[in-house]
Structure 1
Amino acid sequence: MEKRKSRKAPPPPKKVRKVPTAFDCPFCGHTSSVQCSIDLKDMVAKTACAVCKVVYATVANALTEPIDVYSEWIDECHKANEGVDVDDR
């Protein structure tokens, strides 16, 4: 008689980390005050701070995620501040 093969338990499913949808404002510094909205019908993505009311808008496509819009906004802020001398006192 042959011995029965034991079945191994399947490996646990990998946990997918969720990307945040609320971010810190680069202007006023409040945490989780920036919300992103993506309108694929008009192909526009907007980020807006609920505290200081700063808004950034860009072109969106089907693959655009909120973190992409926020990152693009931060990159544009860095470009605008390039070459600006900060006077630390």
Structure 2
Amino acid sequence: MGKRKAKAKAAPKKEPKLETSFSCPFCSHAGSVSCSIDLKLMIAEAACDVCKESYSTRAHALTEPVDVYGEWIDECEKANTDVVRSVRSDYRRRDCADDDDDA
């Protein structure tokens, strides 16, 4: 009697490569932002080669360049919404002050 033939194992799927260069949120140049991660110092930095803007954050063993860039974008959006809120509150204060002057 013969042996049964072993079924061929499926080749493991390769994970897609994540981006390592990104577009700058300030100057909008594509591929100008590069991310560096220093695990000894626990620092991750994203910097634009064109306009020299940069962002630093804390790093850990699972930090990837796309994570650093994503945090930078989140911080930019947060800063922009804070500015919009402060401008709106300034307009409200002016409107209320104008109403008080009329009375």
TM-score, normalised to structure 1, is 0.82
Match of 1:66 in 2: 65
Alignment RMSD (CA, Å): 1.7
Match of 1:53, SS state, is coil
* Equivalent residue, structure 2, for 1:41: 40
Distance in 1, Cα, partners of 2:12 & 2:40: 35
**Cα separation, 1, equivalents of 2:2 and 2:61:** 54
What displacement does 1:24 show? Answer: 1.0
More helix by share: 2
- State the alpha-carbon separation in 2 of the partners of residues 12 and 61 from structure 1: 31
Deviations 1:52-88 (A, max 9, x none): 1101111112221111111100000010111539xxx
Higher-Rg member (1/2): 2
Specify the code of the residue in structure 2 equivalent to 1:67.
V
Measure the CA separation in 2 of the matches of 1:7 and 1:42: 49
What CA distance in whole angstroms lies between the structure 2 residues aligned with 1:37 and 1:73? 13
Letter in 1 for 2:34: Q
1:35-56 deviation digits (Å, cap 9, x = unpaired) = 0011122221110001111011
Number of residues paired by the alignment? 84
* Structure 1 residue 4: Cα displacement: 4.2
Give the secondary structure class of the aligned counterpart of 2:45.
strand
1:1-89 pair list within 5 angstroms = 2=1, 4-82=3-81, 84=84
Say if 1:42 and 1:4 are closer, same or farther in 2 by CA, change over 3 A. closer
